[in-house]
Copies of this chain bind each other. A is one copy, B any other.
Amino acid sequence: MKIDEFRPRLARWTGSTNRITQHMIGGRDPSVINLSGGLPAPEVYPLAAIAAATQRALARFGAQAVAYGPVEGMPALRSAIAARLSGPRQKFSVANVLITTGSLQGVELLGKILLEPGETILAQHPTYLGALDAWRPREPSYRILDWNADEARLGAELRAAKFAYVVPNFSNPTGALVPVEARERLVRAGRTADTVIVEDDPYGALFYDGDAPPSALELSGDGGRGDTYRGPVVYLGTLSKTVAPGLRIGWAVGDPSVIAALSLAKQGADLCTSTFNQAVALELLEAGVERETLPAMIARYRARRDAIVTATRQYLHNSFEFTPPSGGMFLWLKSRDPAIDTDALWQAALAEGVMFCPSSVFDPSGRDTSAIRLNFTLNEETKLVEGVRRLAAALQRRS
């Protein structure tokens, strides 16, 4: 028998995937300041509330809390999500909601049900790397969505794509907030083109300088006439940024026909999302955990945003330009100097003890080395300032 030589052939797409994510979310080296992931501050997790919710969930649901559950999710949790999103513009019903194992699973399942191998996605550029990863096995092509295009142009772009993917609230990675008029144009064009618009909204609760504009989902509603949404937007939400990512509870909300197709894909992905975690999530939502924790979380993140903006102006102004974000988790720094290669800078920065996310991982072609993404929610202010200082030192050393 051959030993130590087992080398199966792998599918082609596995050669194209990024290896940064594993550093971002798995990194545990305490000497490195991690500015790379979309990670919440660990001190905001409501541990006591989760412990209490677990006991209540087991008492309330008994064996059902640890059994297999419906593929689409626990009816009570689907109802709670439908109620939470319902408003004057649109009512949602259980048929509009699929519970997912984190909102990334919704991203992945949408690619599966909509794309034939090689088909086209219309996406903001740069694009969330988790979405690029999720769709790699379908080997899609990408076209760049121009938020400023008129409705006719958007319609043509949508008809040429299998779906559009947008993050209107603090676009990952750029942190940009898309104005309501642009959302409305896209929604009208999507309806005319019968093309799905995937609206990924993990950061929708994290507004630091004002209120959230209506989502594309709300803007595409029927004005409150029906009790079940029928339209082109599939909205992805999550507890990962406002409660705790380790529960892996997300939801996809959309037209019942799309939800039914997503359920078929989910039955072949993980059968159902953990019923245990769904029951805990339901208890947390019913107890109003987000209402209780969000104000302090937002105050904390606002202070951190302010700290990283100040430090970046102080240490990196000569090398990078940026727009301070009004919410979310990220600062997007565009290089002023074409000689800066941010992939090379990643290695240099790691040697200085700081980790960021280079722009190449947000580019479907992997070639953009002109920018970097910094997270400001995981670390407290002094660490953020020290991280930016180390990044400046890495830049210095290179030049």
Q: Which residue in chain B gives the minimum CB-CB distance to A58? A: B51
A263: chain B residues within 8 A (beta carbon): 22
Tell me whether A54 is interfacial, beta carbon within 8 Å: yes
- Contact residues in B for A114 (Cβ distance below 8 Å): 8-11
Q: How far is B133's CA from A59's CA once the two chains are assembled, in angstroms?
A: 34
Q: With the chains together, A11 CA to B257 CA distance in Å?
A: 13
| Residue count of chain A within 8 Å CB distance of chain B | 99
Question: Are A188 and B1 in contact, with the CB atoms below 8 A?
Answer: yes
Count identical subunits in the complex: 2
Interface members, chain A 9-57 (any B CB < 8 Å):
9-12, 14, 17, 19, 21-22, 25-26, 28, 37, 39-40, 42-43, 45, 47, 50-51, 54-55
Given A1-B191, A58-B50, A67-B244, decide whether A12 and B258 contact each other with a Cβ distance below 8 A. no
Contact A274 B261 (CB under 8 A): no
Q: Whole-angstrom distance from the CB of A155 to the nearest CB of chain B?
A: 13
A257 touches B7 (CB 8 A): yes
Which of A98-106, A320-328, A352-360 forms part of the interface with chain B? A98-106
A274 touches B246 (CB 8 A): yes
A63, B42: Cβ atoms under 8 Å? Answer: yes
In the complex, which residues 105-147 of chain A have their Cβ closer than 8 Å to any Cβ of chain B?
105, 108, 112-117, 130, 133-138
User: Are A112 and B133 interface neighbours, CB within 8 A?
Assistant: no
A270 part of interface (Cβ distance < 8 Å)? yes
The 10 A-B residue pairs whose C-beta atoms are closest, nearest first, are A133-B268, A26-B70, A42-B63, A66-B244, A246-B275, A66-B246, A134-B268, A25-B68, A248-B274, A101-B270
A335 at interface (Cβ–Cβ under 8 A)?
A: no
- The interface residues of chain B lying within 8 Å CB-to-CB of A231 are 3, 6
A56 to chain B, nearest CB (A): 11
Q: Select which of B67, B192, B196, B246 is within 8 A of A39 by beta carbon.
A: B67
Q: Which residues of B contact A138 (CB under 8 A)?
A: 137
Interchain CA distance A196-B43 in the complex, whole Å: 43
Contact A70 B25 (CB under 8 A): yes
Contact of A268 among B50, B136, B244 (CB under 8 A): B136
Tell me how far the C-beta of A364 lies from the nearest C-beta in chain B, rounded to whole angstroms: 14
A293 within 8 A of B: no
For residue A4, CB closer than 8 A to chain B, the reply is: yes
- A69 at the A/B interface (Cβ < 8 Å)? yes
Can you name 18 extra interface pairs (CB under 8 A) apart from A117-B117, A134-B269, A137-B268? A8-B257, A8-B258, A11-B116, A14-B265, A21-B271, A26-B70, A26-B71, A42-B62, A45-B67, A50-B66, A66-B247, A69-B246, A105-B269, A137-B138, A248-B270, A248-B271, A248-B272, A269-B269
- Residues of B contacting A105 with CB < 8 Å? 269-270
Q: Which residues of B contact A45 (CB under 8 A)?
A: 63, 66-67
- Give 25 A-B contacts (CB < 8 Å), ordered by A residue: A1-B191, A2-B192, A3-B226, A5-B230, A8-B163, A9-B162, A11-B113, A22-B71, A22-B72, A25-B69, A28-B70, A39-B67, A40-B67, A43-B63, A47-B66, A51-B55, A54-B54, A102-B270, A108-B270, A130-B267, A130-B268, A244-B276, A248-B270, A248-B274, A274-B277
Beyond A50-B58, A62-B47, A114-B8, whether A276 also contacts B257 by CB under 8 A is: no
Give the chain B neighbours of A28 by CB distance below 8 A. 70
Task: Determine whether the beta carbon of B67 is less than 8 Å from that of A22.
Answer: no
Q: What is the minimal beta-carbon distance from A26 to any residue of chain B, in angstroms?
A: 4
